[in-house]
Amino acid sequence: MRNKIIISFLILSIAGCKKEENKEFTDSPIIESYLSPGDYLNIKVTRQIPFSSDVSYSSDDINHLTINVTRNNVNYTLQALGDGKYVDGSLIVAENDLYDLSFSFNSKNVSAYTKVPAKPQNFTESVTEIELEKIDTASGPPNFGSQLDPVNLTWDNTDGSYYLVLIENIETTLEPIRDFGGNAPPGNRFRKSPTNASSTEIRSMEFQYFGSHRIVLYHVLPDYASLYDDNSTSSQNLTNPSTSIVNGYGIFTGLNSDTLYLEVKKK
């Protein structure tokens, strides 16, 4: 479940081709796979959506590809589930596994590789609960002058790896901290940008709701972190982010996580 949450924050904007340039369209697949310990190995393959309608696609059926994955030198052929999804129900992802992906598409060999990083070590928080006042914007703008000290999160990072923090309110019914007025209520989760430091902080004004919060620290690889940093990667240029994928686009990466909990109480 936590793996699906982080994926929802990552939108791959590499589904089109540059409209202004008359470059020939190449039908290359888009791969999406996030390998997390305890999950079955699963991959989704989709096609690009070009701006022009005058393009030719290969004869490959996106739902009937022969996709092979090698884990630690043992080969597996994935089962097609439909809608471009492939899985192996006998292959459960584990920490430090090495994976190689390969299949044929448009008469080319598509390949990728990744590793599942280690679980974060010594993940700690400075407090386990905070108290905030409910803010009524009808009586004027909120006063943030008396904010609490931020919640400090720390972890070991001796090798400069990348980490990402996701904060999610896990209450069944959300109780807002402030009046949102006529605006649509924000979601129940937010994240911090990837960092290769060993700490980050959550300011009190970042919380939108009272109640229990799950704080997930993800150990991610540089290819995942680059998707947040590479502003040139867009549907306008088909420039692939820094991934291992050859003859395709998208993301094939490993990640690992640890979890803490924080209570936001009403003062």
Alpha carbon distances (Å) from 237 to 18, 24, 55, 111, 133? 5, 13, 17, 21, 47
pLDDT at 143 over 90: no
pLDDT tens for each residue of 241-251: 557 899 999 99
Report the distance separating Cα 237 and Cα 215, nearest Å: 35
Mean pLDDT of 162-174: 97
Confidence class of residue 56 from pLDDT cuts 50, 70 and 90?
A: confident
User: Counting Cβ atoms within 10 Å, is residue 199 exposed (0-12), middle (13-18) or buried (19+)?
Assistant: middle
Residue 107 CA from chain centroid, whole number:
30
pLDDT at 73 over 60: yes
Report the distance separating Cα 259 and Cα 212, nearest Å: 13
User: Counting Cβ atoms within 10 Å, is residue 82 exposed (0-12), middle (13-18) or buried (19+)?
Assistant: exposed
Confidence class of residue 130 from pLDDT cuts 50, 70 and 90?
A: very high
Q: Taking a C-beta distance cutoff of 8 angstroms, is the pair 64, 81 a contact?
A: no
Q: What structural domains and CATH numbers belong to the chain?
A: 2-117+230-254 (2.60.40), 124-219+259-266 (2.60.40)
The tokens describing 53, both together, are 């309608």
pTM score > 0.75 for this model?
A: yes
Tell me which of 49 and 86 has the higher pLDDT.
86
Report the distance separating Cα 47 and Cα 69, nearest Å: 20
pLDDT number for residue 224: 87
Closest to 153 in 3D by CA, of 9, 261, 266: 261
pLDDT tens for each residue of 91-129: 999 999 999 999 999 999 999 999 999 999 999 999 999
Closest to 264 in 3D by CA, of 207, 202, 216: 207
Alpha carbon distances (Å) from 245 to 46, 52, 223? 14, 25, 10
